[in-house]
Amino acid sequence: MNYRNLIKISFRALMNNKLRGFLTMLGIIIGVASVISMLAIGQGSKASIRSQISEMGSNLIMIHPGNGQFGGVRQSASSMQTLKLEDYKRIANEAAYITKSSPVVSSSGQIIYGGNNAPTTITGANTEYLDIRTYTVDRGEMFTNEDIKSSKKVCVIGTTIVKNLFTNGEDPLGKVIRFNKIPFKIIGVLKSKGYNSMGMDQDDIVLAPYTTIQKRILAITYINSIFASAASENVSEAATESITEVLRENHKIKQGAEDDFNIRSQEEITTMLSSTTDIMTILLACIAGISLLVGGIGIMNIMYVSVTERTREIGLRMSIGAKGKHILLQFLIEAIIISFTGGVIGVILGIGSSIMIKFIIGWPVQVQLFSVIISFIVCTATGVFFGWYPAKKASNLDPIEAIRYE
């Protein structure tokens, strides 16, 4: 069997009907391009979400008070006072896989400078909070451990606070602002981070020593939450389990009893949002894949027409010695050439359209190698699947009847 001749004959047959061949490829081209583009948009969105979540903190783990019952009445987490400084100290000293940790207390109110004011939340933390939340000081400096010990009234502010209070372009460093009548001296300005994936302004922030917020604003001894940073994203789950053990022991919670705290990790948030994105990506890819099905049906239709048009040719070839498997292979090769060529053009179009979407519309896209490989496999399989039956029909023709066909 001379495969080279079969390929030449198949190419010649397709070149005799260029327009029809291209129109047959069109379904495959659109299908492959759509699949690659949709997967690129889905993967780009997933990568963008992971990137934005990572900006919230470095392998962030958040510990908050849990719901509880007192006198038969279930209390909300915001009214619980189950987290103490002792919990933070034990987590910092005993929890495995934890690199940094900080107690967190916060209060909402109006911040004032001169005739300008704005609603905001002041957050009390320690010196490790910046690293945990991936903030950096752009100008000035961060408050020190000595400031925390002495409950000093100093603060570090974000760029949104600067814009809201210092409207005339004054240098905020060294200025005194007031939060709920309590004066705070600005010693640093944070580098801008913009909005996160939740739509929250990360620059609308005022940081102060947690002891200052506890004593001078809230008048409390407990803390609102604890923020910690795991050694890496891969050990976040192990770190969470270690924190759980430390807190259950510190709170003397009996085995089988409900925790009086909640722990949320960055990995958990990422997994939740990524799974939602994956579902949407699969949905988009399935919708785009319908074009491949339509393209396959188009190949089958054209191959049927080709078999009918070339019935006499098939009969002549079989009468001079061509076997049924030769005819089968010839028409299968034609179907595969159509689908493969359409796949190549579709890949080029899909990658090109993904790049255009990124630079013109501004959507995050990420073309993956696996999407190109899958598209090639699917379009080739489509050609074989939908080209098989017409090719089989051609190979089963009776040579005498085929020669007589008009």
User: What is the tens place of the pLDDT at every residue in 189-244?
Assistant: 999 988 776 667 889 999 999 999 999 999 999 999 999 999 887 888 899 999 99
Q: What is the pTM of this model?
A: 0.64
What confidence score (pLDDT) does residue 402 get?
Answer: 55
Query: What would the mean pLDDT of 63-91 be, rounded to a whole number?
Result: 71
What confidence score (pLDDT) does residue 182 get?
Answer: 93
Task: Quote the mean pLDDT of the chain.
Answer: 82
pLDDT over threshold 50, residue 346: yes
What confidence score (pLDDT) does residue 297 get?
Answer: 79
Tell me how far apart the alpha carbons of residues 357 and 367 are, in angstroms, rounded to a whole number: 12
pLDDT over threshold 80, residue 251: yes
For residues 186 and 202, the model is more confident at 186
